[in-house]
Structure 1
């Protein structure tokens, strides 16, 4: 659902840019509370993983494909504020390096694919977790539903923006029907990917999953006026999680590299949901050439590498590495600023 340049007029694109910048600024502050020395590396990995999986377009209908948006996945794994930042990093790398998603439409894309998907999915996810039994299975079920709903929500948000600033005269009702219809199907794929990924991480390191925090809290009993942990008869105590997420990080990086560098070659070549609707309804008649069309990695291929499999694979590997580096660096800075703010707080209090 990467919106290209020319779909939305300049004033509305600029307004969306302001909204996106505000959301990123708020998320930078909120992410300080979500990130610690263990989860900050995971956040960079989540951004790189989402980049890789977005290369894997899957067929959803005749001549139409879809791909992961990733807002729900990021929000559940690392928190909603950090999730917005993850998607923003992915979209920035895609737009600048791969000419995917317009540069003037970057604000639109962050708002639709980042802010809307994260807010809708995480609000629904938290609501479901509150009413479902406090189990890991409930987290995976809630992640499925949240991801499923987030995709047509993003399609609706795009349609609303197009209704305000679209550059072509197309009946909005037709755009809305087509966008929501195809993105409900794409949402099923999004939900499956999100559920499987969240479930896999929970199975290995539930303590690192933001949306699963508190599930392993022990039952408390009041004895002699004091609360103590209660262990069921015959049950072994839960094993303590290892201090470092290194193994998970390495496994995630390897998985992302394999997906982007090898599996992506077999992705569907059909246009995605937005591209298909735009072509069918005529809302792409004023699309503009991408500002990074001459990038050596444009269209997810390495310039002057004639072998398609090698070109796409190298581009995918470069994209994962670049996204991982930029994302990890950004989250490291956010984490450092959190530490600096915590360190200065006692000094200010003593003063």
Structure 2
């Protein structure tokens, strides 16, 4: 049924390149795609409602076997399924999102594009476009295929973060731009400190999504000019916990959720949401806290003009060793004063 409906839709909406999706994932162009992919429909609670006939050709698993199961059955790793469902819930759709699917004889690289089901029906439908399946490790059964090593794992990891960043960007471009700049500065500070490469990458990637909890804050509060009321401030402060709640559902192999939770904590216990202090905070969280404050003060916001980089650096320097990690403050100052970093 999905294939027939999509073909009819494609006849009246053919993009310039027949093998690519149009700008909206809900308007499918199937020419050349169904031969190497299949259609899928997913419920709001993460069940596979319907799959096109191509699923058997691509994954060597029948649509009947998958229909009605949790969406986890489609993916090589449960964490990937959770990431997709979180992104759908906060963003409303996906376009060309990189995924890895579980096949009967291996793993299949694919892209997933989903949009809300037509007619106001709950859930999403769209196209899975696949490459050739990869061979499983010797002696491994399909249900025991390990997560991809090295660069492949990085692509899945980064694809998940990109989907979450896109969710923020669709609702609040200012916050998305802030996250990107914080990611650049925090990773530069971590590198200046001489931290191991994996820590540098972790703090930068956490920077990309550290404010994702602001999706839970009403737009009229986020963009309100002037001072917030005490009750409004409490709502805004809830974004750190809300971000943790979103990211904790995804099985990252790095402490992305915890860094997100701790990025407004301070060394002296004056931060939020838990009033943690000192070494109870991850070093990555302490580095990100410095970058977050510097970028926020230096940049324009809908509710105030930019305060400038000099004021931002003075703020972290004046609280060096009390609120902010001394080494991170010193590294940040060196980067800007030497001209090796600028927004």
TM-score (norm 1): 0.34
Relative contact order: is structure 1 or structure 2 higher (C-alpha 8 Å, sep ≥ 6)?
1
TM-score, normalization by structure 2? 0.34
Looking at secondary structure, tell me which structure has more helix per residue: 1
Q: Name which one, 1 or 2, has greater alpha-carbon Rg.
A: 2
